[in-house]
Amino acid sequence: MQNADLSFILRNSWLVPALPLFSFAVVALFARRFSEKAAGVVATASVFGSAVAAGLVARDYFRIFPPGTDGQALVPWSIEWLRYQDRLSITVGVLVDPISVLLMVVVTTVSFLVHLYSTGYMRGERGYGRYFAFLNLFTFSMLGLVVASNILQMYMCWELVGLSSFLLIGFYYSRPAAVAASKKAFIVTRFADLGFFIGIILLGYHGFNLLDGQHPFDFITLSSPASLEKLAGATSGFLGVGLLPLAAVLVFMGAAGKSAMFPLHIWLPDAMEGPTPVSALIHAATMVVAGVYLVARMFGVFAAAGDALLLVAYVGAFTCFFAAVIACTQDDVKRVLAFSTLSQIGYMMFALGVSSAAHPMGYTASMFHLFTHAFFKALLFLGAGAVIHATHTSEIWKMGGLRRKMPLTHATFLVATLSIAGIWPFSGFFSKDEILLSALASGHHGVFAIGLLTAGLTAFYMFRLYFLVFSGFPRDEQAGHAHEAPLVMLIPLVALAILSVLAGWVPFSDFVRFGGGGGFHEEGHALVAALGTVAALLGIGFSWFLYAGKGTRAEALAARFGALHLVVKHKFYIDEIYLFITHKIIFRCIAAPVAWFDRNVVDGGVNLSGWCARVSSRGLTFLQTGQAQAYGAWLVGGSIIVLLVAWAARL
Amino acid sequence: MLEVLASNPPGVFHWLVLSSLLFSIGVYGMLSRRNAIGVLMGVELALNSGALNFVLFNRLLAPATVDGEVMSIFIVTVAAAEAVVGMAIFVLLFKQMKTVDMTQASQMRH
Task: Assign A638 a pLDDT band (cuts: 50, 70, 90).
Answer: very high
Q: What is the C-alpha to C-alpha distance for residues B67 and A109, in angstroms, rounded to an integer?
A: 91
Q: Nearest CA to CA, how far is A607 from chain B (Å)?
A: 25
Nearest to A143 by CA among A236, A26, A16: A16
Q: What is the pLDDT of residue A47?
A: 92
Domain holding B22, by residue range, is: 9-101
Q: What is the C-alpha to C-alpha distance for residues A1 and A5, in angstroms, rounded to an integer?
A: 7
DSSP per position, A500-524 = HHHGGGS-HHHH--SSS------TT
Is B23 part of any domain? Answer: yes
CB atoms within 10 A of CB A123: 14
Q: Which one of A626, A632, A633 has the shortest CB-CB distance to B106?
A: A626
Contact A632 B31 (CB under 8 A): yes
Q: Please name the helix (run of DSSP H) or strand (run of DSSP E) that holds residue A457, with its range, or none.
A: helix A445-470
Q: Nearest CA to CA, how far is B65 from chain A (Å)?
A: 31
pLDDT tens readout for residues A233-269: 777 666 667 778 888 888 888 888 888 888 888 888 8
Q: Which one of A621, A625, A636 has the shortest CB-CB distance to B106?
A: A625
Cβ–Cβ contact B89 with A under 8 A: no
Is B108 part of any domain? Answer: no
pLDDT tens readout for residues A356-415: 777 778 888 888 888 899 888 889 988 888 888 888 777 777 777 777 788 888 888 899
Q: What is the pLDDT of residue A237?
A: 65
Higher-scoring residue by pLDDT: A562, A447: A447
Chain A residues within an 8 Å CB radius of B107: 626
Contact B32 A626 (CB under 8 A): no
ipTM score of the complex?
A: 0.83
Nearest to A298 by CA among A415, A154, A403: A154
Is B26 part of any domain? Answer: yes
Q: At what angle do helices A288-297 and A361-391 cross, to 10 degrees?
A: 170
Is B58 part of any domain? Answer: yes
Q: What is the C-alpha to C-alpha distance for residues A344 and A349, in angstroms, rounded to an integer?
A: 9
> Do residues A193 and A254 touch, judged by C-beta distance below 8 A?
yes
Q: Residue A145 half-sphere exposure, CB side, CA atoms within 13 Å? A: 31
Cβ–Cβ contact B110 with A under 8 A: yes
Is B110 part of any domain? Answer: no
Cβ–Cβ contact B27 with A under 8 A: yes
Is B2 part of any domain? Answer: no
Instruction: Check pLDDT > 80 for residue A350.
Output: yes
pLDDT tens readout for residues A273-310: 888 888 888 888 778 888 899 988 888 888 887 788 88
Residue type, A366: S
Contact A624 B109 (CB under 8 A): yes
Q: What is the C-alpha to C-alpha distance for residues B18 and A318, in angstroms, rounded to an integer?
A: 103
Cβ–Cβ contact B46 with A under 8 A: no
Contact B31 A633 (CB under 8 A): yes
Q: Which of A629, A635, A639, A643 to mutate to test the interface with B (most CBs of B within 10 A)?
A: A629
Total domains in the fold of chain B:
1
Q: What is the pLDDT of residue B20?
A: 93
CATH number at residue B63: 1.10.287.3510
> Do residues A457 and A539 touch, judged by C-beta distance below 8 A?
yes
CA-based nearest residue in chain A for residue B109? A626
- Per the omega criterion (within 30 degrees of 0), is the bond before A66 cis? no
Cβ–Cβ contact B39 with A under 8 A: yes
Chain A residues within 8 angstroms (CB to CB) of chain B: 621, 624-629, 632-633, 636
Is B1 part of any domain? Answer: no
pLDDT tens readout for residues A167-213: 988 888 888 888 988 888 898 888 889 989 998 888 888 877 777 76
Q: Nearest CA to CA, how far is A608 from chain B (Å)?
A: 24
Task: Assign B110 a pLDDT band (cuts: 50, 70, 90).
Answer: low
> Which residues, 6+ apart, have CB-to-CB distance to A443 below 8 Å?
none
pLDDT tens readout for residues A130-164: 888 999 999 999 999 999 888 888 999 999 999 98
pLDDT tens readout for residues A415-442: 999 888 888 778 888 888 888 888 888 8
Cβ-Cβ pairs closer than 8 A, A with B, add up to 28
Q: Which one of A624, A629, A632 has the shortest CB-CB distance to B110?
A: A624
Q: What is the C-alpha to C-alpha distance for residues A633 and A643, in angstroms, rounded to an integer?
A: 15
pLDDT tens readout for residues A491-522: 888 888 888 888 888 777 777 777 655 555 55
Is B14 part of any domain? Answer: yes
Chain A residues within an 8 Å CB radius of B108: 626
Mean pLDDT of chain A: 84
Higher-scoring residue by pLDDT: A548, A606: A606
> Which residues, 6+ apart, have CB-to-CB distance to B90 below 8 Å?
B36, B37, B40, B100
Higher-scoring residue by pLDDT: B37, A562: B37
Task: Assign A523 a pLDDT band (cuts: 50, 70, 90).
Answer: low
DSSP letter (8 states) at residue A285 = I
Q: A92 pairs with which residues across the strands?
A: A79
Q: Which one of A626, A629, A633 has the shortest CB-CB distance to B108?
A: A626
Q: What is the C-alpha to C-alpha distance for residues A608 and A629, in angstroms, rounded to an integer?
A: 36
pLDDT tens readout for residues B33-86: 989 999 999 999 999 999 999 999 998 998 899 999 999 999 999 999 999 999
Contact B102 A629 (CB under 8 A): yes
Contact A626 B109 (CB under 8 A): yes
Mean pLDDT of chain B: 90
Please state, for a pLDDT cut of 70, what percent of chain A lies above it. 95
Q: Nearest CA to CA, how far is A645 from chain B (Å)?
A: 19
Cβ–Cβ contact B107 with A under 8 A: yes
Contact A627 B102 (CB under 8 A): yes
Q: Please name the helix (run of DSSP H) or strand (run of DSSP E) that holds residue A85, with its range, or none.
A: strand A74-85
CA-based nearest residue in chain A for residue B28? A633
> Do residues A408 and A493 touch, judged by C-beta distance below 8 A?
yes
Q: What is the pLDDT of residue A479?
A: 66
Sign (positive or negative) of CA dihedral A6, A136, A284, A296? positive
